[in-house]
């Protein structure tokens, strides 16, 4: 039985806790938050009898804790993940894992030296549509993949104003392609077999609007190590319902979300479709946290490295950071330099 600590007591922590409660190999033994009151509210909400902490370092000293779920705001992820790694705790880290390359590199170096397992909360890797597209591409239904398009559009109608308009809240210096668009960047890599991005350029409109982030729309052009190219966008400014798109275009077929057109279907005249669960909601309760957390626990118990570890996710984050850097510098083309 692995003891789990939940660091952070917001909405996403609820889904983490539920998933751990449903896993037969885990027990939530601690909740940490900036105040004991918020930790206590979360424990009561989910009928947990566990230890409560408003001091994160004391939480990490608890010998009952084997795994830590980082559910705090993005600007705290790096510091808290590094501290947990140094304490020898396995990690599930909410995305984005860091808000700049300096933080990401510090995390990468510390975690690479620690004997722990990590899984990043790119939960769409367990969404049935994404899994189906990945399998279809691997089976050759599009032939050679040439272009991938992925979009994360989380309109202001979907954003809870109470979450981002607190009196003491300060906007984070990240853009939409880091904040939520990293899901699109990661999904584009995953359906191509975790292909690394080697080159990126970004652009953004000359436009500003009050937002919970500083750059509410970025579009990136990327090149993958396998020669394919991609168009990735992240926005929190369009006035529209939540939309997640993913499309793969090849020399023998096309996949557009759950629609397909392929030489594998002789005589096909129009797009066909396959029934599946789409990533069509930004609500955290819609996301496959159970599969994500079950995967982490299986990796720990079998001593297996995850396909979604920090070492894998670093490339996704670097591409997002460089896209925003490029967009601020006349859409210059930037080569991705991997951490050593």
If you search the block for the tokens 């990136």, which residue do you land on? 220
- Report how far residue 202's alpha carbon sits from residue 244's, in angstroms, rounded to the nearest whole number: 19
Please say whether the dihedral angle defined by the alpha carbons of residues 101, 106, 112 and 115, taken in this order, is positive or negative: negative
Give 13-72 pLDDT, tens digit per residue.
Answer: 999 999 999 999 999 999 999 999 999 999 999 999 999 999 999 999 999 999 999 999
* Superfamily of structural domain 2-123+290-309: NAD(P)-binding Rossmann-like Domain (3.40.50.720)
Q: Return the pLDDT at 165.
A: 41
Where do you find CATH 3.30.360.10 in the chain? 126-280+315-335
| Contact by Cβ (8 Å): 15, 35 | no
Which residues are CB-contacts of 7 (< 8 A; sequence separation ≥ 6)? 32, 33, 56, 59, 68, 69, 70, 71, 72, 80
Please say whether the dihedral angle defined by the alpha carbons of residues 245, 128, 14 and 318, taken in this order, is positive or negative: negative
Q: Return the pLDDT at 213.
A: 64
- Report how far residue 324's alpha carbon sits from residue 315's, in angstroms, rounded to the nearest whole number: 14
Cis previous bond, 96, omega within 30: yes
Neighbours of 68 (CB within 10 A): 28
Question: What confidence tier does 166 reach under pLDDT thresholds 50, 70, 90?
Answer: very low
Question: What confidence tier does 248 reach under pLDDT thresholds 50, 70, 90?
Answer: very high
Which residues are CB-contacts of 323 (< 8 A; sequence separation ≥ 6)? 177, 200, 201, 202, 218, 220, 222, 232
What predicted TM-score, i.e. pTM, was given to this entire model?
A: 0.94
Q: Return the pLDDT at 157.
A: 53
Q: Is 133 exposed, middle or buried (0-12, 13-18, 19+ CB in 10 A)?
A: buried
Give 172-227 pLDDT, tens digit per residue.
Answer: 678 999 999 999 999 999 999 999 999 999 999 987 666 556 788 999 999 999 99
Where do you find CATH 3.40.50.720 in the chain? 2-123+290-309
CATH topology for the 126-280+315-335 domain: Dihydrodipicolinate Reductase; domain 2 (3.30.360)
Which residues are CB-contacts of 287 (< 8 A; sequence separation ≥ 6)? 15, 123, 124, 127
């Amino acid at each position: 039985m692995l003891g789990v600590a939940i660091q952070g007591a917001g909405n996403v922590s609820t889904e983490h806790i539920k998933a751990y409660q449903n896993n037969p190999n885990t027990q939530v033994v601690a909740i940490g938050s900036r105040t004991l009151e918020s930790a206590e509210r979360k424990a009561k909400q989910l009928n947990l009898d566990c230890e409560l902490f408003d001091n994160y370092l004391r939480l990490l000293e608890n010998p009952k804790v084997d795994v830590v779920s980082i559910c705090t705001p993005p600007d705290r992820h790096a510091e808290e993940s590094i501290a947990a790694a140094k304490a020898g705790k396995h990690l599930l880290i909410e995305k984005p894992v860091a808000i700049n390359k300096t933080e990401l590199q510090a995390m990468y170096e510390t975690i690479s030296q620690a004997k722990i397992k990590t899984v990043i909360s790119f939960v769409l890797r367990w969404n049935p549509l994404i899994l189906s597209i990945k399998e279809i591409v691997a089976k050759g239904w599009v032939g050679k993949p040439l272009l991938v398009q992925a979009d994360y559009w989380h309109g202001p109608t979907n954003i809870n104003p109470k979450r981002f308009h607190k009196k003491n809240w300060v906007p984070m210096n990240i853009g939409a392609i880091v904040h939520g668009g990293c899901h699109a960047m990661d999904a584009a890599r995953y359906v191509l077999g975790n292909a690394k991005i080697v080159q990126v350029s970004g652009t953004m409109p000359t436009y500003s609007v009050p937002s919970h982030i500083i750059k509410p729309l970025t579009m990136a052009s990327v090149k993958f190590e396998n020669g394919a190219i991609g168009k990735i966008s992240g926005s929190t400014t369009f006035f529209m319902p939540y939309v997640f798109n993913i499309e793969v275009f090849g020399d023998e077929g096309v996949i557009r979300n759950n629609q397909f057109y392929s030489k594998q279907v002789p005589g096909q005249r129009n797009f066909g479709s396959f029934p599946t669960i789409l990533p069509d909601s930004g609500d955290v309760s819609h996301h496959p946290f159970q599969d994500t957390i079950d995967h982490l626990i299986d990796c720990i118990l079998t001593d297996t490295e995850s396909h979604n570890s920090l070492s894998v996710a670093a490339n996704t984050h670097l591409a997002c950071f460089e896209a925003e850097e490029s967009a601020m510098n006349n859409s210059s083309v930037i080569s991705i330099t991997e951490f050593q």
